[in-house]
Amino acid sequence: SYDVRKLARENSAEFFIKFQEVYPHFTKKMLNINPNFKVSELTFAAYIYLGFNTKQIADYTFKAVKTIENNRYNLRKKLEISPEKDLQIWLRNYIDSQ
């Protein structure tokens, strides 16, 4: 998984492909909740899942912090997660549960 984190930090086009190899259930489980996720949204969720914070994601993806905050908000809406829940912990628990 170090490899995947490195690809994430480099904003590599290979990142999400490799991520799905390491975490094969991720996409299926995300689409079970909401079949309308775009690849860009799943990729963003993968960054969160790996524990990167808003500032890190903004830096790695060359986006504004505000953009990432909006992405987080939209992801929460699509997953129907309340604001008081930690997004990363929620994703970890959901994806890693059998």
pLDDT digits over 34-57, tens only? 999 999 999 999 999 999 999 999
Return the DSSP state at 88: H
Q: What size, in residues, is the chain? A: 98
Is the pLDDT assigned to residue 98 strictly greater than 80?
no
Please state the domain extents for the chain.
2-96
Band of pLDDT at residue 93, cut at 50, 70 and 90? very high
Q: Can you tell me whether residue 8 is helix, strand or coil?
A: helix
- Burial of residue 7 (number of CB atoms within 10 Å: 0-12, 13-18, 19+): middle
The highest-level CATH class for domain 2-96 is alpha beta
Alpha carbon distance 87, 92 (integer Å): 9
Longest CA–CA span in the chain (Å) reads 35
